[in-house]
Amino acid sequence: MASRRKEPPAEDGRLIETDVLVVGGGPAAAWAALSAAETGARVVLADKGYHGTSGATAPSNTGTWCVPPGEDRAASVERRFKRTAGLADRRWMLRAADRAYENLQKLVEWGYPFPSEEDGSLYIANLRGPDYMRFMRQRVQKAGVTILDHHPILELLGDDNHIGGAAGVVRRTGAGFRVSAGGIVLATGGCAFFERILGGTGLTGDGHLFAAEAGASLSGMEFTGKYTLAPHGSSLNKGLPFRWATFYRKNGEVLRDARGEPVTNGIGGGERQVAEAMLSGPVYARLDLADPAMQDWLRRGQPNCFQPYDRMGINPFGDLFRVELKYEGTVRGTGGIRIVSSECGTGIAGLYAAGDAASRENVTGGISGGGAINASWAIASGWWAGHGAAQHARRCQNREIVRLRSLGTTGLRGTAERVDIDLADAARTVHAEIAPLDKSYWRTTETLETSRRTLEHVWAGLRQAKPATGIDRLRAREVASVTASARWTIAAALLRTESRGVHRRRDFPGEDEAQASRILVSGLDQVTAVREDRALPMAQEG
């Protein structure tokens, strides 16, 4: 394989020293890198893909939760809080709204090309993914951050008291590299569980696994029953155009709700009925409620959504087309690494989490948060985590990477048995236990128990597999982190014997006041799930 590269390939075992290491390449990673660099810290950003295109944001067009300062802000938080199934935190919502607003103003200052309102003022409540992430890369470069594209991190390095580095692999060569850092931000994104959604290939919950191996907990993993409509077979899990859809059977018969009304608005009231209908056969849609002005705005404002239709040669405003609900795991669902301090510390010294890698319960509670809240959370949590990691790096100046242990386990270091394993088969099995509507849109004790047993079997197989080498380590670790994330999801979903937010139990359809607390999961070979209000306080700042 001949390939011309501008930079020379890294030698095996190359060691990079820095103050802050940011793992990931989406918006949370970019804001964390900028925030740490602003304090004067040396920063390395190691992205599994290319910082500027990787993650769920770059291929999208996302709203922001943009709440200007003033009296209305508290009211806006209160309105949002009512939709969070009782598990958000008003203090965090307020500070997230504030931080996101401040940083959106920075984008204005830096010259991001926001569109104008009719009165000439800038409309900053929306960011176009490709442009936003390309712009962020340029800012990150300008801030002096060292960007390592296609340098996936495979594991953390640490001792009994703190995390002090990470090790990864260079995709082009398969060579290893290590980074010694005073503070580390995990901004690795959510876990898409191998569903083919925008950004999904790289979103394998890597940071979840790293954090758990370091001893951190995760939270909210049961709030992963999140799906979004897409043209069937496509990657376009963007729901906005379906606001103007009516839903049909293949023969053109319109779907009707319990009162006999046509099922419409696939991102609102219609979603559940569409999901129900899909259990008994294919569902079709037509964006027939969009008037000509809206059709024009949708086409020009959401051009990514129209790529599948244009390429298939169909007119979605006039033709029926088949749809599916794409599973979104923790990408639009909510669970992730538990945050225990204001600076987004994980409870493990030196380790911080931001964006979709972190649990978003503080701002979204038990619901998805949609694009807007989640985009603002990425901006705010990235900023805080970058500051926290930089501060931590300043506090521990004498660092010796030789003392640190490799914390990676499954996929990197097997047990003594060393059996061959088919990773593609393992990936398909895990996806099949988590992505179908009758597994994660609706859950029952029975389906969850069946999945739990299957996933335990997959995990045991991964544990016994021959350790991967070279670039194959990446896939081995991705399958391990998705499998671990699936096991945490199932454990949390089994413990929550009620329906709340985007966790729906067929066998417990109602909300139970006594379960209005968060669920924490932890552990690798032995997974445990506990209710936060009964867990021991974990107050140690990250």
Partner 1 sequence: MIEVVSADRCIRCDICERVCPAFVFDRDETGLPVIARQDDCQTCFLCEIYCPTDALYVAEQAHGPTGITEPEALQRDLFGAYARSLGWSRGRAGGAENDPTRHIRVAQV
Judged by beta carbon, residue 59 or residue 414, the one nearer partner 1 is: 59
Minimum distance, C-beta of residue 331 to partner 1, in the bound complex (Å): 12
Which of 199, 225, 270, 335 binds partner 1 (CB under 8 A)? It is 199
Does 437 interact with partner 1 (rule: CB under 8 A)? no
Does 319 interact with partner 1 (rule: CB under 8 A)? no
Which of 8, 252, 281, 313 binds partner 1 (CB under 8 A)? It is 313
Does 144 interact with partner 1 (rule: CB under 8 A)? no
Minimum distance, C-beta of residue 308 to partner 1, in the bound complex (Å): 4
Helix 27-38 and helix 370-395, axial crossing angle in degrees, nearest 10: 30
Does 411 interact with partner 1 (rule: CB under 8 A)? no
Residue written as token pair 């805080």: 384
Does 131 interact with partner 1 (rule: CB under 8 A)? yes
Q: Provide the 8-state DSSP code for 369.
A: -
293 φ/ψ angles, rounded to the nearest 5 degrees: -65, -45
Does 243 interact with partner 1 (rule: CB under 8 A)? yes
Which of 92, 101, 114, 177 binds partner 1 (CB under 8 A)? It is 114
Gap between the Cα atoms of 452 and 444, Å rounded? 12
| Half-sphere CA count of 103, side-chain side, radius 13 A | 30
Q: How far is CA 109 from the centre of its chain?
A: 28
Does 302 interact with partner 1 (rule: CB under 8 A)? yes
- Asked if 25 and 48 touch (Cβ cutoff 8 Å), the reply is yes
Q: Residue length, the chain?
A: 542
* Core vs surface per residue 408-445: b (16+ CB within 10 A) or e: bbbbbebeeeeeebebeebbebbbebbbebebbbbbbe
Does 483 interact with partner 1 (rule: CB under 8 A)? no
Judged by beta carbon, residue 81 or residue 306, the one nearer partner 1 is: 306
Residue written as token pair 């999904």: 200
Does 370 interact with partner 1 (rule: CB under 8 A)? no
Does 198 interact with partner 1 (rule: CB under 8 A)? yes
Which of 165, 190, 308, 369 binds partner 1 (CB under 8 A)? It is 308
Helix (H) or strand (E) holding 473, with range, is helix 472-495
Residue written as token pair 């895990």: 430
63 φ/ψ angles, rounded to the nearest 5 degrees: -75, 165
Does 126 interact with partner 1 (rule: CB under 8 A)? yes
- Asked if 329 and 368 touch (Cβ cutoff 8 Å), the reply is no
Does 266 interact with partner 1 (rule: CB under 8 A)? no
C-alpha distances (whole Å) from 504 to each of 195, 367, 437, 487, 498 are 20, 11, 11, 17, 7
Gap between the Cα atoms of 535 and 104, Å rounded? 37
Which of 1, 258, 514, 536 binds partner 1 (CB under 8 A)? It is 1
Stretch that binds partner 1, among 277-285, 290-298, 330-338, 502-510 (CB under 8 A): 290-298
Q: Assess whether 256 carries a catalytic annotation.
A: yes
Does 202 interact with partner 1 (rule: CB under 8 A)? yes
Stretch that binds partner 1, among 177-185, 198-206, 444-452, 520-528 (CB under 8 A): 198-206
Does 295 interact with partner 1 (rule: CB under 8 A)? no
Minimum distance, C-beta of residue 97 to partner 1, in the bound complex (Å): 17
Does 523 interact with partner 1 (rule: CB under 8 A)? no
Does 399 interact with partner 1 (rule: CB under 8 A)? no
User: Considering only residues 21-80, where is the footprint of partner 1 by CB under 8 A?
Assistant: 25, 49-50, 52-55, 58-59, 61, 63
Q: How far is CA 28 from the centre of its chain?
A: 10
Which of 303, 428, 449, 466 binds partner 1 (CB under 8 A)? It is 303
Does 128 interact with partner 1 (rule: CB under 8 A)? yes
Minimum distance, C-beta of residue 148 to partner 1, in the bound complex (Å): 13
Judged by beta carbon, residue 332 or residue 505, the one nearer partner 1 is: 332
Full DSSP string of 263-282: PB-TTTTHHHHHHHHHTTS-
Catalytic residue among 256, 322, 395, 413: 256
Edge-to-edge strand order for the sheet containing 246-248?
227-231, 321-327, 283-286, 246-248
Does 110 interact with partner 1 (rule: CB under 8 A)? no
Q: Residues 181, 182, 185, 191: is their CA dihedral positive or negative?
A: positive
Number of residues lying near partner 1 (CB under 8 A): 66
Does 406 interact with partner 1 (rule: CB under 8 A)? no
User: Considering only residues 86-105, where is the footprint of partner 1 by CB under 8 A?
Assistant: none
Gap between the Cα atoms of 290 and 265, Å rounded? 11
Which of 165, 200, 225, 329 binds partner 1 (CB under 8 A)? It is 200
Does 282 interact with partner 1 (rule: CB under 8 A)? no
Q: Could you tell me which residues are beta bridge partners of residue 185?
A: 22, 352
Does 3 interact with partner 1 (rule: CB under 8 A)? yes
Minimum distance, C-beta of residue 314 to partner 1, in the bound complex (Å): 10
Full DSSP string of 36-100: HHHTT--EEEE-SS-TTT-SSSTTSEEE-----SSHHHHHHHHHHHTTTTT---HHHHHHHHHHH
Summarize as ranges the residues that interact with partner 1 (CB under 8 A): 1-6, 25, 49-50, 52-55, 58-59, 61, 63, 112-117, 123, 125-126, 128, 130-132, 134-135, 149-150, 171, 196-202, 231, 233-235, 240, 243, 293-294, 296-304, 306-308, 310-313
Active site residues: 256
